[in-house]
Amino acid sequence: MSGSAEDERLRVQQLRALRRRWLRDQELSPREPVLPPRRLGTVAAFWERFLQPGGLWRQQVHKAYQTGSFVMLRVLLPAWAITYYLKYHIQKSPHGVVVTNPRIFPGDRILETGEIMPPLKEDPHGHH
């Protein structure tokens, strides 16, 4: 009976040693991971150089963005809101929202074409 317990202890000890070694092997050294060198295409290389901090083009694009956002938020949107409010809430004529055309009855002259509106057809069913 002592033989099988000794074998069991030895097996457990060997398994623990193997597990410890496996866990140590999983730790990365400062040189890892070893990756292949990056090969960038023409577009990716352009953006890599373009986006370098302190680049002239990057500063120019940033200035253009700042100017555009200022103009959009401080000039165009308020001007649009004021124009919308004046056009659709204050001003009634000549640019109001609702413009009604004059009613046209049978026998009236249509101003654009000069035609005279024909009379309505009689309803053959006789009920309304």
Q: Where are the domains of the chain?
A: 55-93
Of residues 123 and 128, more confidence is placed in: 123
Residue 20 identity: R
Residue 93, pLDDT score: 62
Distance CA 67, CA 48 (A): 25
Q: Is the pTM of this model over 0.85?
A: no
Which SS3 state, helix, strand or coil, does residue 20 take? helix
Q: Is 112 left (phi over 0), alpha (psi -120 to 50) or beta?
A: alpha
Has residue 67 got a pLDDT over 70?
Answer: yes
Percent of the chain with pLDDT over 90: 36
Distance CA 22, CA 5 (A): 25
Has residue 23 got a pLDDT over 80?
Answer: yes
Has residue 57 got a pLDDT over 90?
Answer: no
